[in-house]
Amino acid sequence: MTQQRLKLVLLESPLELVPRELWSHPQVASTARKYGAKPGEMLLDKRLHYHAMASLPQKWKRGRPDIVYITLMLLIDSLLNLKGHLELYIHVYDGRVFAVHPELRPPRHYEGFKRIMSQLLAYNKVPPGADKPLLWLEANSLKEFVDRHGRIILLWEHGKPATPDTVVADALESGLPLGIGMFPRGDFRKTTLRKTARAYSLAQGSPLKSWTVAHLLLCAAEKRLQLL
């Protein structure tokens, strides 16, 4: 019998390399010198590039790799993952979807995490030359991902009220990917919403942090699969 796995996709993750139009901005140039990198090799980070990002469209949804860092650390270190019941994907700002090997151990230092994410965005896998990478390109777009894995069960503040156990049960029984929004403000893109099978809300009208949603789902899944 095939072991049940919870498919989780971290949707619209604010991960991207510094856009070309910002390369000459003094704030970007300064941080590039500090880290000994070219501007286009660095992750866009609101903490470092706040003023440079002022003219970017949808700036409120961008430049927050820390959200992915916290959520990913929680998921990778979970009992669900360690016991082989988690299948994890990261959907980034430009639309690509990357798969995460269950044995990935992200650097505990935030700057180290940013380095491997910038490497991933530049080369589509980490390590770049590995035959069996720990992070790799799964799909060039969310559409391609959905065509391969099925439409997404979405965690959304405007979805149908449900408990974490109900949501996890649906995902495990249907085999469909479960999507968590990773952006700090705003709403999902319409193109993302059109790729959903159904949507649930764990706290109707009260947006939750991405890592809080991930924690609730992990606890429900570990209990349902009798890992606790």
Numbered residues of the known binding site: 181, 186, 203-208
Question: Rounded to an integer, what distance in angstroms lies between the CA atom of residue 213 and that of residue 77?
Answer: 16
Question: Rounded to an integer, what distance in angstroms lies between the CA atom of residue 214 and that of residue 78?
Answer: 10
Give the containing element (helix H, strand E) for 145. helix 142-149
Give the containing element (helix H, strand E) for 156. strand 152-161
Which of 10, 45, 11, 19 minimizes the C-alpha distance to 31?
45
Question: Rounded to an integer, what distance in angstroms lies between the CA atom of residue 4 and that of residue 216?
Answer: 18
Cis peptide before 161 (omega within 30 of 0): no
Instruction: Give the side-chain half-sphere CA count within 13 A for 147.
Output: 7
What type of residue is 207?
A: P
Question: Rounded to an integer, what distance in angstroms lies between the CA atom of residue 202 and that of residue 162?
Answer: 6
| Binding site residue list for S-adenosyl-L-methionine | 181, 186, 203-208
Give the containing element (helix H, strand E) for 217. helix 210-224
Question: Rounded to an integer, what distance in angstroms lies between the CA atom of residue 224 and that of residue 221?
Answer: 5
